[in-house]
Structure 1
């Protein structure tokens, strides 16, 4: 599994590795390979914890990730004996934490706003790096390319009720609407605010957008 992850890192495919291991785990259940199913599940948790470091550089797999695998897990018991020169960790975890969080990495500056899609399967984020990004909430991988066009920090983001559109508000005083599936801007910028747009939201029927700004106004737009 380590050599496979090393290749995924070199090929830039770590974002797809969790989904691949999920498929393997399901196949093991159907095929009754329960004796090694725990190893695959540990691999999924390993990726949830360390995918950011592994994506950044393949050597981090051995330097920054492997030494910190909880010692009482099957993955640790199988892998660590093969690497006698690993860094020693004092006071590390014995088991994976009960609540396993994903790290979504890709923005190059502070993340200002985040929101879930209505079905909970995607996350949208807005950042000081002037981009909007969409993420797979289960795998922690970025979906498609980032959405760019704002000329300053993206302060507010929201999904439409059907999840097909995203609205963003920026310090550049504009509101923009995006196609969340194709990753392109829909229509022209919505201009009218004279200061940063701090909040945006769709109406329940998705036909209107409301925005609030530092300019002390609330504006309503056709979506």
Structure 2
């Protein structure tokens, strides 16, 4: 199995050192960057499996960078930030981050969060089907895009893709929050629930759903969700 590569973007040298050491001891490959410009230049040469991104960058707005990564990259995106307000967490998740860790942190927790995020990736090589067709839509997990019946493409993030794939692999079956937690990894609680709410809301928007009466992703209050489309994989 190929060792996962974690890219670390933080302007604090000590943070980069602590994270690199903990991740390398856990068996990950790492690369570290102090500035967004260096980080973005590196991403033109390779795509890491995970990006750890600090929001307080000296040369770029961290949230804007997270949003662009979510749209253009298939990497798992984890924000590591000193901003501990609930609204900062919500904004980060809404912009496409997979997880949000506040400083100060325990390096072991960061390693555990990364392992949880990588436990069930959206696609795992050529053995996994990459294209799903449902109703008037095509979902391409090799390119992270939704394509409508007019050929218009709408990108989705890695985090959104995890949830979408879970629905498409279990159509017309109830998926509970507990099942989502088991399948996607993470820690039970308000943070996980909020992350799922955000991702499902974004998927509904991209699928043109009426939020008051969605026809594809139905909420069964107190139980979970059901995806009502007819799905075929290639």
Normalising by structure 2, we get a TM-score of: 0.25
More strand by share: 1
Considering fraction of residues, name the structure with more helix: 2
TM-score relative to the length of structure 1: 0.25
Whichever of the two has the greater Rg, that structure is 1
